[in-house]
Amino acid sequence: MTSRSVQFRLLRSSLILSVLFLLLSPPGLLQAAAKAPDPDRLQLGSVSAMVSDLNTGEVLYAKYPDLQMPVASLTKVMTAVVVLESKAPLNSYLEIQRVKNATGKNAYSRLRNDSTLKRKDLLRIALMSSENLATYVLAQHHEGGLEQFVADMNRTAERLGMNNTHFDDPSGLSSGNVSTARDMSRLLREANRHDLIREYSTTGQFTARFRKPRYVLGYGNTNRLVHRRAWDISLSKTGYLTEAGRCLLLSARIDERPVSMVLLNSFGKLTHIGDAGRVKRWLQTGDGGRLATAAKRYQADRIEELLAGLKAPSKATTN
Candidates 156, 187, 155, 180; CA nearest to 54 is: 187
| Residue count of the chain | 319
Helix (H, G, I), strand (E, B) or coil at 115: coil
Q: How confident is the model over 41-94, as pLDDT tens digits?
A: 999 999 999 999 999 999 999 999 999 999 999 999 999 999 999 999 999 999
CA distances from 269 to 238, 264, 266 (A): 11, 13, 9
Structure-model confidence comparison of residues 138 and 304, the more confident one? 138
Mean pLDDT of 254-283: 95
Q: Which of 165-179, 227-241, 293-307 is predicted with the least confidence, judged by mean pLDDT?
A: 293-307
Q: Does residue 100 carry a catalytic annotation?
A: no
Statement: 35-317 belongs to CATH 3.40.710.10? yes
CA 27 and chain centroid, separation: 24
CA distance 33 to 56: 14
> What average pLDDT does the segment 255-265 reach?
97
Please determine, for residue 31, whether its predicted confidence score (pLDDT) is greater than 80: no
H helix intervals, the chain:
3-24, 27-33, 75-85, 119-129, 132-140, 145-159, 181-191, 195-201, 271-285, 293-307
In this prediction, residue 12 carries a pLDDT of 55
How far is C-alpha 232 from the geometric centre of its chain's CA atoms? 14
Whether pLDDT at 315 is above 80: no
For the segment 157-190, what is each residue's pLDDT rounded down to a tens digit?
999 999 999 999 999 999 999 999 999 999 999 9
Per-position b or e across 291-318, b if 16+ CB within 10 A of its CB: beeebeebbeebbeebeeeeeebeebee
Candidates 52, 129, 130, 185; catalytic one = 130
Our answer to whether residue 76 is catalytic in this structure is yes
Given 48, 52, 63, 76, the catalytic residue: 76
Among 73, 129, 185, 251, which one carries the catalytic annotation? 73
Residue 27 has pLDDT above 60, yes or no: no
Q: Is 73 a catalytic residue?
A: yes
CA-wise closest residue to 241 among 287, 178, 172: 172
Burial (CB count <10 Å: 0-12, 13-18, 19+), residue 50 = buried
pLDDT at residue 6 in the model: 42
Complete DSSP assignment for 185-240: HHHHHHHTT-HHHHHHHT--EEEEEEBTTTEEEEEE-S-GGGG-TT--EEEEEEEE
Residue 2 vs residue 177, higher pLDDT: 177
Task: Tell me the pTM.
Answer: 0.86
